[in-house]
Amino acid sequence: MATLCKNCAAPLVFDPATQRVVCRSCGSSFTAEEVESEAKAFAEDKRAVDAAEIYGVKSEEDEILGNDVKEEFIDCYIYTCSSCGGEITINGTEVSTKCIYCGSPSVVFNRISKEKAPEFIMPFQITKEKAVELIKAQFSKGLFIPKEVKNFEPSAVHGIYVPYWLVDARHAEANMYSARFKKDRYSYETRYFGRSGNIIVQNLPVDGSQMLSPKITQRLEPFDFSDMKNFDEDYLLGFYSNTSDITNVQLDEIVAKRCHEEFNNEAMKTFGGSGKRLAGTRQLDLIDRDVRYAMLPVWFVTYKYRGFQNTVLVNGQTGKVVCGAPWNEKLFWFFTIMLAIILSVLFIAALRFWIVPAFFSDPYEYSRSYRYNSSRRDPRTIVLALMVVLTIALFTVGYRFLSKAVKQLRLSQSASLFFFTKKRQE
Protein backbone atom coordinates (compact mmCIF):
# COMPACT_ATOMS: atom_id res chain seq x y z
CA MET A 1 0.00 0.00 0.00
CA ALA A 2 1.01 3.64 -0.33
CA THR A 3 1.59 5.77 2.77
CA LEU A 4 -0.31 9.03 2.33
CA CYS A 5 0.38 12.54 3.55
CA LYS A 6 -1.86 13.46 6.48
CA ASN A 7 -2.13 17.02 5.13
CA CYS A 8 -3.15 16.43 1.51
CA ALA A 9 -3.45 12.61 1.13
CA ALA A 10 -0.76 12.47 -1.60
CA PRO A 11 1.79 9.59 -1.55
CA LEU A 12 4.88 10.11 0.62
CA VAL A 13 8.46 9.26 -0.39
CA PHE A 14 11.76 9.18 1.50
CA ASP A 15 14.22 11.93 0.53
CA PRO A 16 17.92 10.98 0.97
CA ALA A 17 19.01 14.63 0.87
CA THR A 18 16.99 15.66 3.93
CA GLN A 19 16.67 12.19 5.52
CA ARG A 20 12.94 12.84 5.91
CA VAL A 21 9.74 11.47 4.43
CA VAL A 22 8.36 14.18 2.16
CA CYS A 23 5.20 14.96 0.23
CA ARG A 24 5.96 16.24 -3.26
CA SER A 25 2.45 17.63 -3.56
CA CYS A 26 2.17 20.00 -0.59
CA GLY A 27 5.80 20.10 0.55
CA SER A 28 5.21 18.63 3.99
CA SER A 29 8.00 16.59 5.56
CA PHE A 30 8.17 14.17 8.48
CA THR A 31 10.66 11.87 10.13
CA ALA A 32 10.14 8.20 9.40
CA GLU A 33 9.14 7.64 13.01
CA GLU A 34 6.46 10.34 12.79
CA VAL A 35 4.68 8.73 9.87
CA GLU A 36 2.06 6.27 10.93
CA SER A 37 -0.65 5.20 8.52
CA GLU A 38 -3.97 4.03 9.98
CA ALA A 39 -4.31 1.67 7.04
CA LYS A 40 -1.19 -0.31 7.94
CA ALA A 41 -3.08 -2.56 10.33
CA PHE A 42 -5.48 -3.53 7.54
CA ALA A 43 -2.70 -3.84 4.94
CA GLU A 44 -0.82 -6.42 7.00
CA ASP A 45 -3.35 -9.05 5.95
CA LYS A 46 -3.32 -7.92 2.33
CA ARG A 47 -1.05 -10.28 0.48
CA ALA A 48 0.46 -10.50 -2.98
CA VAL A 49 -1.43 -13.20 -4.88
CA ASP A 50 0.27 -15.67 -7.20
CA ALA A 51 -0.62 -14.62 -10.75
CA ALA A 52 -1.34 -18.26 -11.63
CA GLU A 53 -4.23 -18.12 -9.16
CA ILE A 54 -5.71 -15.20 -11.09
CA TYR A 55 -4.83 -15.80 -14.74
CA GLY A 56 -3.02 -19.06 -15.26
CA VAL A 57 -5.14 -21.76 -13.63
CA LYS A 58 -7.40 -24.14 -15.51
CA SER A 59 -11.11 -23.54 -15.63
CA GLU A 60 -13.59 -26.14 -14.44
CA GLU A 61 -14.35 -27.00 -18.07
CA ASP A 62 -10.66 -27.49 -18.84
CA GLU A 63 -10.29 -29.74 -15.81
CA ILE A 64 -13.21 -31.93 -16.95
CA LEU A 65 -12.08 -32.11 -20.59
CA GLY A 66 -8.40 -32.48 -19.69
CA ASN A 67 -7.33 -29.50 -21.80
CA ASP A 68 -3.77 -28.24 -21.48
CA VAL A 69 -3.56 -24.62 -20.42
CA LYS A 70 -0.25 -22.77 -20.72
CA GLU A 71 0.71 -21.19 -17.41
CA GLU A 72 2.52 -17.92 -18.15
CA PHE A 73 2.82 -16.61 -14.62
CA ILE A 74 5.40 -18.74 -12.81
CA ASP A 75 7.52 -16.37 -10.68
CA CYS A 76 5.00 -13.58 -10.65
CA TYR A 77 2.63 -12.07 -8.06
CA ILE A 78 -0.14 -9.51 -8.25
CA TYR A 79 -0.49 -6.75 -5.67
CA THR A 80 -3.23 -4.11 -5.83
CA CYS A 81 -2.22 -0.45 -5.62
CA SER A 82 -4.09 1.23 -2.76
CA SER A 83 -3.99 4.61 -4.53
CA CYS A 84 -5.52 3.79 -7.92
CA GLY A 85 -6.54 0.12 -7.70
CA GLY A 86 -4.15 -0.93 -10.49
CA GLU A 87 -2.58 -4.38 -10.51
CA ILE A 88 1.16 -4.28 -9.76
CA THR A 89 3.26 -7.22 -10.95
CA ILE A 90 6.04 -8.18 -8.55
CA ASN A 91 8.39 -11.14 -8.15
CA GLY A 92 8.54 -13.52 -5.21
CA THR A 93 10.95 -11.47 -3.08
CA GLU A 94 10.00 -7.81 -3.69
CA VAL A 95 8.94 -5.82 -0.63
CA SER A 96 8.54 -2.30 -2.04
CA THR A 97 7.90 -1.08 -5.57
CA LYS A 98 6.08 1.61 -7.59
CA CYS A 99 2.74 1.49 -9.34
CA ILE A 100 3.19 1.58 -13.13
CA TYR A 101 -0.13 3.44 -13.52
CA CYS A 102 -0.06 6.24 -10.96
CA GLY A 103 3.57 6.12 -9.85
CA SER A 104 2.70 5.81 -6.16
CA PRO A 105 5.23 3.98 -3.96
CA SER A 106 3.82 0.75 -2.58
CA VAL A 107 5.03 -1.47 0.25
CA VAL A 108 3.89 -5.08 0.51
CA PHE A 109 3.37 -4.91 4.27
CA ASN A 110 2.43 -8.57 4.56
CA ARG A 111 5.94 -9.57 3.53
CA ILE A 112 7.68 -7.40 6.13
CA SER A 113 5.19 -7.78 8.97
CA LYS A 114 4.58 -11.51 8.91
CA GLU A 115 7.03 -13.17 6.54
CA LYS A 116 10.57 -11.74 6.70
CA ALA A 117 10.90 -8.61 8.78
CA PRO A 118 14.34 -6.89 8.71
CA GLU A 119 15.80 -5.73 12.03
CA PHE A 120 17.76 -2.78 10.65
CA ILE A 121 17.85 -0.47 7.66
CA MET A 122 20.48 1.97 6.39
CA PRO A 123 18.60 4.85 4.71
CA PHE A 124 19.79 6.23 1.39
CA GLN A 125 22.13 9.19 1.85
CA ILE A 126 23.10 9.62 -1.82
CA THR A 127 20.40 11.12 -4.06
CA LYS A 128 19.63 9.86 -7.55
CA GLU A 129 21.18 12.95 -9.14
CA LYS A 130 24.31 12.60 -7.02
CA ALA A 131 24.68 8.93 -8.00
CA VAL A 132 24.65 9.78 -11.72
CA GLU A 133 27.08 12.64 -11.07
CA LEU A 134 29.51 10.31 -9.27
CA ILE A 135 29.44 7.82 -12.15
CA LYS A 136 30.17 10.51 -14.72
CA ALA A 137 33.03 11.82 -12.57
CA GLN A 138 34.46 8.30 -12.41
CA PHE A 139 34.12 7.81 -16.16
CA SER A 140 35.77 11.18 -16.91
CA LYS A 141 39.06 9.82 -15.51
CA GLY A 142 39.17 6.95 -18.03
CA LEU A 143 41.61 7.56 -20.88
CA PHE A 144 40.08 4.94 -23.17
CA ILE A 145 36.39 5.48 -22.29
CA PRO A 146 34.47 6.89 -25.31
CA LYS A 147 32.96 10.37 -25.06
CA GLU A 148 29.46 8.95 -25.55
CA VAL A 149 29.88 6.88 -22.38
CA LYS A 150 31.40 9.75 -20.38
CA ASN A 151 28.38 11.89 -21.24
CA PHE A 152 25.81 9.06 -20.97
CA GLU A 153 22.16 9.66 -20.19
CA PRO A 154 20.77 6.94 -17.93
CA SER A 155 17.87 4.93 -19.32
CA ALA A 156 16.91 3.83 -15.80
CA VAL A 157 17.94 4.74 -12.26
CA HIS A 158 16.71 2.40 -9.52
CA GLY A 159 17.23 2.93 -5.81
CA ILE A 160 17.04 -0.56 -4.32
CA TYR A 161 17.40 -1.76 -0.76
CA VAL A 162 19.40 -4.97 -1.04
CA PRO A 163 18.87 -7.57 1.74
CA TYR A 164 22.00 -8.36 3.75
CA TRP A 165 22.83 -10.60 6.67
CA LEU A 166 25.34 -9.16 9.16
CA VAL A 167 27.39 -12.01 10.56
CA ASP A 168 29.84 -12.42 13.45
CA ALA A 169 32.18 -15.38 13.09
CA ARG A 170 35.49 -16.91 14.16
CA HIS A 171 37.54 -18.61 11.46
CA ALA A 172 40.52 -20.88 12.26
CA GLU A 173 42.78 -22.18 9.52
CA ALA A 174 46.03 -24.16 9.10
CA ASN A 175 47.59 -24.22 5.63
CA MET A 176 50.62 -25.56 3.79
CA TYR A 177 52.03 -23.44 0.96
CA SER A 178 54.67 -24.04 -1.70
CA ALA A 179 56.80 -21.51 -3.59
CA ARG A 180 59.71 -21.62 -6.04
CA PHE A 181 63.10 -20.06 -5.26
CA LYS A 182 66.10 -19.64 -7.52
CA LYS A 183 68.78 -22.15 -6.50
CA ASP A 184 71.46 -21.10 -8.96
CA ARG A 185 71.71 -19.58 -12.40
CA TYR A 186 69.87 -22.41 -14.16
CA SER A 187 67.70 -24.18 -11.58
CA TYR A 188 64.98 -23.61 -8.98
CA GLU A 189 63.94 -25.36 -5.80
CA THR A 190 60.56 -25.69 -4.13
CA ARG A 191 60.16 -24.70 -0.50
CA TYR A 192 57.20 -25.30 1.78
CA PHE A 193 55.73 -23.00 4.43
CA GLY A 194 53.17 -23.66 7.14
CA ARG A 195 50.83 -20.93 8.31
CA SER A 196 48.08 -21.11 10.91
CA GLY A 197 45.93 -18.63 12.76
CA ASN A 198 42.41 -17.35 13.20
CA ILE A 199 40.25 -14.46 12.07
CA ILE A 200 37.47 -12.83 14.03
CA VAL A 201 34.92 -10.98 11.90
CA GLN A 202 32.13 -8.72 13.07
CA ASN A 203 29.26 -7.34 11.00
CA LEU A 204 30.43 -9.16 7.88
CA PRO A 205 27.85 -8.15 5.23
CA VAL A 206 26.53 -11.09 3.21
CA ASP A 207 24.25 -10.33 0.26
CA GLY A 208 20.97 -12.17 0.75
CA SER A 209 19.77 -12.05 -2.88
CA GLN A 210 20.58 -14.99 -5.14
CA MET A 211 20.00 -12.86 -8.23
CA LEU A 212 23.05 -10.68 -7.51
CA SER A 213 26.58 -11.99 -7.91
CA PRO A 214 28.85 -11.71 -4.83
CA LYS A 215 31.60 -10.53 -7.20
CA ILE A 216 29.55 -7.36 -7.67
CA THR A 217 28.03 -6.78 -4.23
CA GLN A 218 31.31 -7.32 -2.33
CA ARG A 219 32.86 -4.45 -4.26
CA LEU A 220 30.27 -2.10 -2.77
CA GLU A 221 31.87 -2.52 0.64
CA PRO A 222 32.65 -1.10 3.08
CA PHE A 223 29.47 0.21 4.71
CA ASP A 224 29.52 2.37 7.83
CA PHE A 225 27.11 0.56 10.12
CA SER A 226 26.98 3.46 12.58
CA ASP A 227 24.33 4.96 10.24
CA MET A 228 21.98 2.00 10.59
CA LYS A 229 18.57 2.52 12.14
CA ASN A 230 15.92 0.23 13.49
CA PHE A 231 13.78 -0.91 10.61
CA ASP A 232 10.87 1.32 9.68
CA GLU A 233 8.97 0.57 6.48
CA ASP A 234 8.61 4.30 5.75
CA TYR A 235 12.29 4.40 4.69
CA LEU A 236 11.25 2.15 1.79
CA LEU A 237 8.83 4.71 0.36
CA GLY A 238 9.89 5.68 -3.16
CA PHE A 239 12.44 2.86 -3.42
CA TYR A 240 12.48 -0.77 -4.42
CA SER A 241 13.46 -3.58 -2.08
CA ASN A 242 13.69 -7.35 -1.83
CA THR A 243 13.56 -9.93 0.92
CA SER A 244 16.38 -12.41 1.38
CA ASP A 245 16.10 -15.71 -0.46
CA ILE A 246 19.28 -17.56 0.58
CA THR A 247 19.29 -20.52 2.97
CA ASN A 248 21.28 -20.92 6.19
CA VAL A 249 23.54 -23.43 4.43
CA GLN A 250 24.30 -20.94 1.66
CA LEU A 251 24.97 -18.23 4.26
CA ASP A 252 27.49 -20.47 6.07
CA GLU A 253 29.23 -21.33 2.80
CA ILE A 254 29.61 -17.68 1.82
CA VAL A 255 31.03 -16.71 5.24
CA ALA A 256 33.51 -19.62 5.19
CA LYS A 257 34.64 -18.76 1.66
CA ARG A 258 35.19 -15.07 2.42
CA CYS A 259 37.11 -15.80 5.61
CA HIS A 260 39.31 -18.33 3.81
CA GLU A 261 40.07 -15.86 1.01
CA GLU A 262 41.05 -13.17 3.53
CA PHE A 263 43.27 -15.53 5.52
CA ASN A 264 44.88 -16.96 2.38
CA ASN A 265 45.70 -13.51 0.96
CA GLU A 266 47.32 -12.36 4.19
CA ALA A 267 49.23 -15.62 4.70
CA MET A 268 50.81 -15.47 1.22
CA LYS A 269 52.25 -12.06 2.02
CA THR A 270 54.43 -13.54 4.76
CA PHE A 271 56.84 -15.41 2.46
CA GLY A 272 58.59 -14.77 -0.85
CA GLY A 273 59.25 -16.79 -3.96
CA SER A 274 57.31 -17.23 -7.18
CA GLY A 275 54.51 -19.56 -8.21
CA LYS A 276 52.94 -19.49 -4.75
CA ARG A 277 50.40 -22.25 -4.28
CA LEU A 278 48.14 -23.58 -1.54
CA ALA A 279 49.23 -27.20 -1.04
CA GLY A 280 46.81 -28.17 1.73
CA THR A 281 44.31 -26.63 4.12
CA ARG A 282 42.27 -27.34 7.25
CA GLN A 283 39.51 -24.93 8.27
CA LEU A 284 37.02 -24.49 11.08
CA ASP A 285 34.25 -21.88 11.20
CA LEU A 286 32.23 -20.92 14.26
CA ILE A 287 29.37 -18.69 13.15
CA ASP A 288 27.26 -16.81 15.66
CA ARG A 289 23.66 -17.83 15.04
CA ASP A 290 22.47 -14.40 16.13
CA VAL A 291 22.77 -12.94 12.63
CA ARG A 292 21.17 -9.55 11.93
CA TYR A 293 18.89 -8.98 8.97
CA ALA A 294 19.35 -5.54 7.40
CA MET A 295 18.54 -3.62 4.23
CA LEU A 296 21.39 -1.64 2.68
CA PRO A 297 21.00 1.05 -0.04
CA VAL A 298 22.31 0.66 -3.60
CA TRP A 299 21.69 2.73 -6.73
CA PHE A 300 21.45 0.77 -9.99
CA VAL A 301 22.07 3.04 -12.98
CA THR A 302 21.50 1.56 -16.45
CA TYR A 303 22.50 3.03 -19.81
CA LYS A 304 22.79 1.76 -23.38
CA TYR A 305 25.89 1.78 -25.54
CA ARG A 306 26.07 0.16 -28.98
CA GLY A 307 23.04 -2.00 -28.27
CA PHE A 308 24.30 -3.32 -24.93
CA GLN A 309 22.73 -2.62 -21.55
CA ASN A 310 25.32 -1.56 -18.99
CA THR A 311 24.52 -1.33 -15.27
CA VAL A 312 26.66 0.57 -12.78
CA LEU A 313 26.17 0.27 -9.01
CA VAL A 314 26.64 3.07 -6.50
CA ASN A 315 26.79 2.54 -2.75
CA GLY A 316 23.77 4.50 -1.51
CA GLN A 317 25.59 5.49 1.68
CA THR A 318 29.23 6.17 0.69
CA GLY A 319 28.87 6.91 -3.05
CA LYS A 320 31.40 4.24 -4.06
CA VAL A 321 31.05 3.42 -7.78
CA VAL A 322 31.23 -0.24 -8.83
CA CYS A 323 31.48 -1.97 -12.24
CA GLY A 324 33.27 -1.02 -15.41
CA ALA A 325 32.57 0.91 -18.58
CA PRO A 326 32.91 0.20 -22.31
CA TRP A 327 36.30 1.25 -23.61
CA ASN A 328 37.63 2.27 -27.00
CA GLU A 329 39.51 -0.82 -28.21
CA LYS A 330 40.87 0.91 -31.31
CA LEU A 331 42.35 3.74 -29.25
CA PHE A 332 43.84 1.27 -26.76
CA TRP A 333 45.52 -0.83 -29.46
CA PHE A 334 46.70 2.33 -31.25
CA PHE A 335 48.52 3.50 -28.11
CA THR A 336 49.87 -0.01 -27.51
CA ILE A 337 51.24 -0.37 -31.05
CA MET A 338 52.70 3.16 -31.07
CA LEU A 339 54.43 2.51 -27.75
CA ALA A 340 55.81 -0.78 -29.07
CA ILE A 341 57.14 0.97 -32.19
CA ILE A 342 58.81 3.74 -30.15
CA LEU A 343 60.48 1.25 -27.80
CA SER A 344 61.61 -0.91 -30.75
CA VAL A 345 63.17 2.10 -32.52
CA LEU A 346 65.01 3.14 -29.34
CA PHE A 347 66.21 -0.41 -28.80
CA ILE A 348 67.48 -0.80 -32.37
CA ALA A 349 69.10 2.65 -32.32
CA ALA A 350 70.94 1.84 -29.11
CA LEU A 351 72.23 -1.40 -30.59
CA ARG A 352 73.20 0.12 -33.92
CA PHE A 353 74.85 3.37 -32.88
CA TRP A 354 76.09 2.78 -29.32
CA ILE A 355 76.56 -0.76 -28.11
CA VAL A 356 77.66 -2.63 -31.26
CA PRO A 357 80.07 0.08 -32.58
CA ALA A 358 81.74 0.32 -29.19
CA PHE A 359 82.53 -3.38 -29.26
CA PHE A 360 83.71 -3.65 -32.86
CA SER A 361 85.76 -0.42 -32.88
CA ASP A 362 88.42 -2.00 -30.63
CA PRO A 363 87.35 -5.43 -29.41
CA TYR A 364 90.66 -6.09 -27.62
CA GLU A 365 90.47 -2.86 -25.62
CA TYR A 366 86.77 -3.39 -24.88
CA SER A 367 87.39 -6.90 -23.61
CA ARG A 368 90.45 -5.96 -21.55
CA SER A 369 88.71 -2.98 -19.92
CA TYR A 370 85.78 -4.95 -18.57
CA ARG A 371 87.27 -8.44 -18.12
CA TYR A 372 89.84 -7.60 -15.49
CA ASN A 373 87.88 -5.03 -13.56
CA SER A 374 84.87 -6.83 -12.10
CA SER A 375 83.83 -3.79 -10.07
CA ARG A 376 83.34 -1.74 -13.20
CA ARG A 377 80.08 -2.15 -15.12
CA ASP A 378 79.55 -1.17 -18.71
CA PRO A 379 76.87 1.58 -18.81
CA ARG A 380 75.74 0.27 -22.19
CA THR A 381 74.81 -3.07 -20.65
CA ILE A 382 72.91 -1.34 -17.85
CA VAL A 383 70.95 0.80 -20.30
CA LEU A 384 70.14 -2.22 -22.47
CA ALA A 385 68.92 -4.20 -19.44
CA LEU A 386 66.76 -1.29 -18.28
CA MET A 387 65.16 -1.01 -21.72
CA VAL A 388 64.31 -4.70 -21.75
CA VAL A 389 62.87 -4.55 -18.20
CA LEU A 390 60.86 -1.41 -19.06
CA THR A 391 59.41 -3.04 -22.18
CA ILE A 392 58.35 -6.16 -20.26
CA ALA A 393 56.88 -4.05 -17.42
CA LEU A 394 54.85 -1.86 -19.79
CA PHE A 395 53.34 -4.83 -21.61
CA THR A 396 52.60 -6.57 -18.28
CA VAL A 397 50.76 -3.48 -17.00
CA GLY A 398 48.88 -3.21 -20.30
CA TYR A 399 47.83 -6.86 -20.15
CA ARG A 400 46.60 -6.52 -16.57
CA PHE A 401 44.69 -3.35 -17.45
CA LEU A 402 43.06 -5.13 -20.37
CA SER A 403 42.10 -8.17 -18.28
CA LYS A 404 40.66 -6.00 -15.49
CA ALA A 405 38.70 -3.84 -17.96
CA VAL A 406 37.21 -6.90 -19.66
CA LYS A 407 36.18 -8.50 -16.33
CA GLN A 408 34.56 -5.31 -15.07
CA LEU A 409 32.72 -4.81 -18.36
CA ARG A 410 31.38 -8.36 -18.21
CA LEU A 411 30.06 -7.69 -14.72
CA SER A 412 28.37 -4.50 -15.92
CA GLN A 413 26.71 -6.39 -18.78
CA SER A 414 25.92 -9.59 -16.84
CA ALA A 415 22.50 -11.07 -17.49
CA SER A 416 21.69 -11.57 -13.79
CA LEU A 417 22.37 -7.91 -12.99
CA PHE A 418 20.31 -6.76 -15.98
CA PHE A 419 17.29 -8.92 -15.09
CA PHE A 420 17.49 -7.90 -11.43
CA THR A 421 16.98 -4.25 -12.39
CA LYS A 422 14.70 -4.92 -15.36
CA LYS A 423 12.05 -6.54 -13.14
CA ARG A 424 11.52 -3.29 -11.27
CA GLN A 425 8.42 -1.34 -12.16
CA GLU A 426 9.00 1.90 -14.10
Task: Examine residue 98 and state whether it is found in any structural domain, yes or no.
Answer: yes
Q: In terms of residue numbers, what domain contains 63? A: 12-117
| Same-domain pairing of 258 and 186 | yes
Task: Examine residue 414 and state whether it is found in any structural domain, yes or no.
Answer: no
- Residue 225 per-residue DSSP state: G
Q: Which of 289, 323, 357 is the last residue of a domain?
A: 323
| Same-domain pairing of 33 and 67 | yes
Task: Examine residue 274 and state whether it is found in any structural domain, yes or no.
Answer: yes
The pTM score is 0.70
Q: How many domains are there within the chain?
A: 3
Task: Examine residue 417 and state whether it is found in any structural domain, yes or no.
Answer: no
Residue 132 one-letter amino acid? V
| Same-domain pairing of 138 and 185 | yes
How far the first Cα of the chain sits from its last, in Å, is: 17
Task: Examine residue 301 and state whether it is found in any structural domain, yes or no.
Answer: yes
Do 82 and 97 contact (CB within 8 A), yes or no? no
Task: Examine residue 266 and state whether it is found in any structural domain, yes or no.
Answer: yes
| Same-domain pairing of 72 and 42 | yes
| Same-domain pairing of 301 and 402 | no
pLDDT of the chain, 426 residues: tens digit per residue: 567 788 887 888 889 989 889 988 888 888 887 776 544 544 444 444 444 444 444 444 444 445 444 444 334 444 455 555 444 545 545 555 555 444 555 555 444 444 567 899 999 999 999 999 999 888 888 777 878 888 888 888 888 899 999 999 999 999 999 999 988 877 889 999 999 999 999 999 999 988 888 888 888 999 999 989 998 888 888 888 878 888 889 999 999 999 999 999 999 999 999 889 999 999 999 999 889 999 999 999 888 887 778 888 999 999 999 887 776 667 776 777 777 777 777 777 766 666 555 544 555 554 555 444 444 555 566 666 676 777 777 677 766 766 666 676 676 767 667 667 765 544
| Same-domain pairing of 251 and 307 | yes
Task: Examine residue 20 and state whether it is found in any structural domain, yes or no.
Answer: yes
What's the Rg (C-alpha) of the chain? 30
Contacts of 199 (CB under 8 A, 6+ apart): 170, 171, 173, 259, 262, 263
- Residue 192 per-residue DSSP state: E
| Same-domain pairing of 182 and 154 | yes
Contacts of 23 (CB under 8 A, 6+ apart): 5, 7, 8, 10, 11, 12, 29
| Same-domain pairing of 362 and 230 | no
| Same-domain pairing of 17 and 90 | yes
